[in-house]
Amino acid sequence: MSDEAKEMPEQPKVTVMTGPPKSTVREYFESFVVTLIMAIFGMTFILQAVTVPTGSMQNTILVGDYLLVNKFIFTPGGGSLPFLPQREIERGDIVVFKYPGNKLYPEKDRAHGNSAIPYQVNYVKRVIGLPGETVEFKNNQVFINGQLLAENRVIGDADDNISALEVKEFEEKRPEPKYTVFYRQDTMDAVKRGDPRVMRPDYEFGVAGKPMVVPENSFFVMGDSRDNSEDSRYWGFVPRGLIIGRAMFVYWSCDRGASNGSMAGCITHPRIDRIGKFVK
């Protein structure tokens, strides 16, 4: 050993103070706080749970379906970073949004009570018209910029006492569309007869003889149960800022009609076959 090594002073020992062990209560409390923070973050920016109280999207979505909504998928106004799994809103997307209100006839909102409170109630519809496009709904068909929109049209008669449309027969099957929409037998028969009364008189926007251009940063949306949906034909366009996200899948479903509409039906009459079903 060299003289320098002999002359180096001995290094003092460092003692790490660990403190008293955490109690079980404290560990559970800290875990709860972290979980709560993550849940709040997720529900605020990524996911949201909503329920479907009306039949405007039957049979795609049933009354009593509880949906998980992806709030992160659509790009914000100025676009997104390329490595993020985001995209623009597309035709055919089923979106959840805050009801924009009936600007033409606000008294209709008041007549609907709590189910039509502007900017508070969540609605679920399918995107049909994109910004800048001309939309016209006539003869139970949709025309975009004057061209027929290819949709799978199915005859399904609605019954208020059941949770789904009774599908009787296929009106037509086309390989191109990604989704199916439903019409009543009587309205399809009226179209075949050329009866102009097929159109609901309370539809004002983008209907036969009234084609409308979708404003910038807005969308024209419709329910899949076309004869049983108050949508953009009834109250107008949905601004981009009111869209919450895209419906992903059913995480729970129950038949409320089996218990006269009470919440007890969600426990006593679950629809096991719909749990985990993707919405498309």
Q: What is the pLDDT of residues 104-135, one digit of tens each?
A: 889 989 888 888 999 999 999 999 999 999 99
Structural domain includes residue 241:
yes
Q: Is 66 helix (H, G, I), strand (E, B) or coil?
A: strand
Structural domain includes residue 168:
yes
Structural domain includes residue 141:
yes
**40-44, 80-84, 142-146, 152-156: segment of lowest average pLDDT:** 40-44
How many domains does the chain divide into? 1
Q: In the chain, count of helices (H) and strands (E)?
A: 6, 14
| Residue at token pair 């209709």 | 108
pLDDT at residue 20 in the model: 59
Structural domain includes residue 245:
yes
What is the layout of strands, in order, in the sheet containing 212-213?
A: 147-148, 141-144, 134-138, 212-213
Q: Is 40 exposed, middle or buried (0-12, 13-18, 19+ CB in 10 A)?
A: exposed
Structural domain includes residue 226:
yes
CA 47 → CA 38, 54, 248, 249, 273, distances in Å?
11, 22, 10, 11, 23
State the residue range of the domain holding 135.
Answer: 47-274
**CATH code of the domain covering residue 247:** 2.10.109.10
